[in-house]
């Protein structure tokens, strides 16, 4: 079982968190490169991390995304108190905001499995199993990443978006799981570049809010089981100042 450092960053600015991810991501890659230069045959010792957090209102566009899928101009973004970032993950445009559980696993997949498609499927499975605990039947939509309800029907709606970056089998970015999310913010984008499908949240499906900590605990449980990992709580490795 692989030990993974778990950090709950609370509500954190997107740029600050992106910079922090890059530090952890680069540090892990640099350590792998350094260790292998010393002894290419030796087992490489690296640290892995799981960050859980929420962001203030923000739209992010993946490197393969179309900027036209952001429907709000600069004036509108200011009016709704949202920011916008083109970033280096896969996928198209998505929204992050309060009430949404964002997970950024920074994992060295050499300690798990070196298969990025399996990695995405396991992240999806953790969300699917968590939703099942609330009586919500979810699944996958062939050809798309993320987690869907009533996939391949006219009522298809996405409840969790995913976009990752992977280099030397180290991952960053991750998933955005709509828990008590204000879905009105999705009206200002073409979510994930898909213009004919709806988005939803646990709150919308159940007709009530659910405790965010409860969802975090369920997600951690399923991620640990799927990835055969043990989470060790850790304070963030940056200063609030």
Q: Mind telling me the catalytic residues?
A: 192
Residues facing 105 on adjacent strands = 50
Contacts of 157 (CB under 8 A, 6+ apart): 148, 149, 150, 197, 198, 199, 200
Cβ atoms within 10 Å, residue 34: 10
Q: Is 5 helix (H, G, I), strand (E, B) or coil?
A: strand
Q: Which tokens hold the place of 210? A: 């659910």
**How far is the C-alpha of 140 from the C-alpha of 151, rounded, in Å?**
7
Q: Which tokens hold the place of 163? A: 């976009």
Q: What DSSP character marks residue 8?
A: E
């Amino acid at each position: 079982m692989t030990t993974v450092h778990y950090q709950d960053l609370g509500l954190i600015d997107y740029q600050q968190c992106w910079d922090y991810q890059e530090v952890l991501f680069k540090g892990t890659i640099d350590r792998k490169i350094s260790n292998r230069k010393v002894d290419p045959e030796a087992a490489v010792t690296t640290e892995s991390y799981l960050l859980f957090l929420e962001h203030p209102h923000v739209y992010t566009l993946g490197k393969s995304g179309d900027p036209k899928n952001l429907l709000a101009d600069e004036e509108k973004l200011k009016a709704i108190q949202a920011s916008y970032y083109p970033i280096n993950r896969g996928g198209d445009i998505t929204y992050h905001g309060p009430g949404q559980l964002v997970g950024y696993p920074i994992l060295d997949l050499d300690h798990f499995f070196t298969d990025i498609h399996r990695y995405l499927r396991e992240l999806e499975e953790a969300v699917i199993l968590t939703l099942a605990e609330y009586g919500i039947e979810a699944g996958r939509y062939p050809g798309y990443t993320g987690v869907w309800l009533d996939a391949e029907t006219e009522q298809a709606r996405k409840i969790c978006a995913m976009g990752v970056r992977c280099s030397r089998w180290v991952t960053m970015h991750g998933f955005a799981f709509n828990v008590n999310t204000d879905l009105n913010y999705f009206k200002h984008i073409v979510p994930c570049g898909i213009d004919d499908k709806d988005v939803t949240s646990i709150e919308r499906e159940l007709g009530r809010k659910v405790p965010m900590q409860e969802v975090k605990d369920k997600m951690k449980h399923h991620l640990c089981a799927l990835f055969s990992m043990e989470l060790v709580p850790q304070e963030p490795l940056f200063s609030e100042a």
